Amino acid sequence: MLQRILVGLGVLNLLFVIFLGVLFFQGQNVVYVDSVKLMNGYKGMQDARAAYQQKAGAWKANIDTLASEVQKQIFTYEKESPRMSAKERQLSQELIRTKQKQFTDYQQAMNTQAQQEDSKMTGEVVTQVNAYLKKYGEANGYKIILAATEYGNIAYADEGLDITEKVLEGLNNEYVGK
């Protein structure tokens, strides 16, 4: 019985919040943008991704070179170990272990750097987009600009409220004009 009362109160609360939202937003200029479409179409993001990919390519080339060196050292050891003394085999094994550790450490450092670089790049682009959205909203008299994400934060909105294309055009024009 208590559960039914609590559920009933919860539903009434939800309806009240929705009712207040409708009253508050009635007559207000509320629009939305498709954030995925906006970010993917923004030339600033495209340029940032291209720069990131270039850096990532260089990191990958360095990692590939180190991996190749380790593999070459192992191959050489396997080929020459029958002719080595016990002391030479031990030294070669230690050298290989050292190279493998250096490779692993470098690979981890590059992964960390890549994550940091990606976060920094994304953060900078999001800051640019948010600043433009604020300016755009003020210039066009919007009270609220909502962002629809791929996870569906907006369950339904009339397509006439979608200003993504207008914002994307202005954002790209501003970016190119810099």
**Band of pLDDT at residue 156, cut at 50, 70 and 90:** low
Assigned domain for 11 exists: no
- Which residue segment(s) compose the domain that 99 sits in? 27-176
> Is 129 exposed, middle or buried (CB count within 10 Å of its CB: 0-12, 13-18, 19+)?
buried
According to the model, what pLDDT value does residue 27 have? 54
Assigned domain for 172 exists: yes
User: Residue 3 above 80 pLDDT?
Assistant: no
User: Residue 158 above 60 pLDDT?
Assistant: yes
Assigned domain for 122 exists: yes
Give the mean pLDDT of the chain.
82
Assigned domain for 134 exists: yes
Q: Give the number of residues written for the chain.
A: 178
Please give the model's pTM, rounded to 2 decimal places. Answer: 0.69
Distance CA 105, CA 84 (A): 29
Domain count, the chain: 1
Give the CATH number of the domain where residue 166 resides: 3.30.910.20
Assigned domain for 146 exists: yes
Segment 62-85, tens digit of pLDDT? 999 999 999 999 999 899 989 999
Distance CA 124, CA 121 (A): 5
Assigned domain for 68 exists: yes
Q: In terms of pLDDT, which residue wins out, 13 or 146?
A: 146
**Band of pLDDT at residue 113, cut at 50, 70 and 90:** very high
User: Residue 1 above 80 pLDDT?
Assistant: no
Assigned domain for 74 exists: yes
